[in-house]
Amino acid sequence: QMADLFQRDVSAISRHIKNVFDEGELGKESNLRFLQIPNSDKPVTLYNLNVIISVGYRVRSHRGTQFRIWATERLREYIIKGFTMNDDLLKKAGGGDYFKELLARIRDIRSSEKVFWRQVLDIYATSIDYDPRAEIT
């Protein structure tokens, strides 16, 4: 399926996967598993999303380039803004549990903003009666 996704032959994808593991970019134990399919002699190897992303950064194809452009845009947005969102996913069916998680995180951030502004207000309030000669100052 990765060969279809990145529009390359299976041998090229296999070589990239081998290099991902050989170079220590990812560990085999936590990033792949084998699934035995009934009436099949050989188990099917399943790779997790980390492997697919790593291959996407290595593969040379038009589709690989499209992936890298998309991923770089997401990374850039995250680095600049501190977050990135899939607006379409959140609009469709509310994004499921992700939308609830997003709301909870926003509430948490907003509550920390309240604490910050309360501290600013406290500093301002104590500065009104500031006396440079006072021992407490």
Per-residue pLDDT tens for 117-129? Answer: 888 888 877 777 7
Q: What is the pLDDT of residue 135?
A: 75
Final residue belonging to a domain, choices 84, 110, 125 = 84
Query: Is the domain of 17 the same as that of 80?
Result: yes
Query: Is the domain of 74 the same as that of 121?
Result: no
β-bridge mates for residue 44, sequence order = 35
Query: Is the domain of 112 the same as that of 53?
Result: no
pLDDT digits (tens, 9 = 90+) for 29-50: 999 999 888 888 888 889 999 9
Query: Is the domain of 112 the same as that of 101?
Result: yes
Do 71 and 57 meet the contact criterion of CB atoms below 8 Å apart? yes
Query: Is the domain of 39 the same as that of 64?
Result: yes
Query: Is the domain of 74 the same as that of 99?
Result: no
Give the pTM. 0.66
Q: What is the pLDDT of residue 111?
A: 81
Question: Can you read off the two tokens belonging to residue 7?
Answer: 């529009």
**Closest C-alpha to 50, from 60, 58, 42:** 58
User: Backbone dihedral region of 32: left (phi > 0), alpha (psi from -120 to 50 degrees) or beta?
Assistant: beta
Query: Is the domain of 91 the same as that of 76?
Result: no
Q: How many domains does the chain have?
A: 2
User: Backbone dihedral region of 112: left (phi > 0), alpha (psi from -120 to 50 degrees) or beta?
Assistant: alpha
Q: What is the pLDDT of residue 21?
A: 96
Domain containing 52 equals 1-84
Do 56 and 68 meet the contact criterion of CB atoms below 8 Å apart? yes
The H-assigned helical ranges of the chain are: 2-6, 10-22, 28-31, 49-58, 62-81, 87-91, 97-128
Query: Is the domain of 4 the same as that of 63?
Result: yes
| pLDDT tens track, the chain, 137 positions | 999 999 999 999 999 999 999 999 999 999 999 988 888 888 888 999 999 999 999 999 999 999 999 999 999 999 999 889 888 877 776 667 777 888 888 888 888 777 788 888 888 777 777 777 877 66
